[in-house]
Amino acid sequence: MRPHVPKRERDSGRVYKCAPGRGRKPLDPRRVLGGILYVLRNGCLWKAVPREYGAANSVHAYFQKWLEAGFFRAIWAGGLMRYDSFQGIDREWLSVDGAVGKSPLGSGKTGANPTDRGKKA
């Protein structure tokens, strides 16, 4: 995953209080990823991230930046390709299913739009 972690760069449009190299040091990407995986695995709020991973706001900010940079898509694709090279993906047995239709029992309870549902005319 290390090659896919986005590099931290200073925003050229932002005015910083400190010169480059001063101020708070960036969090260790490995700890940040641990915090992100903690939230995704447990389904908890970002504020419930243990301090060992860093401040909750910082971990969430990293998550947003990495999501925008395509980090999670890259590691998912890399993992899928690695699995394919080791195990092999059987592409002949792939299936997608879905259906869209009207609800047979909902006609009398739905209004013209979602805000009118359940209202008596």
Confidence of residue 119 (pLDDT cuts 50, 70, 90): low
Contacts of 75 (CB under 8 A, 6+ apart): 1, 4
Q: What is the pLDDT of residue 5?
A: 82
Per-residue pLDDT, 106? 61
Across 45-76, b (16+ Cβ under 10 Å) vs e yields eeeebeeebbebebbbebbeebeeeebeebbe
Task: Show me where the domains of the chain are located.
Answer: 2-88
Q: What is the model's pTM? A: 0.64
* Residue 113 pLDDT greater than 70, yes or no: no
pLDDT of 111 over the 60 cut? no
Q: Which of 83, 39, 80 is nearest to 61 (CA)?
A: 39
Q: What's the mean per-residue pLDDT of the chain? A: 82
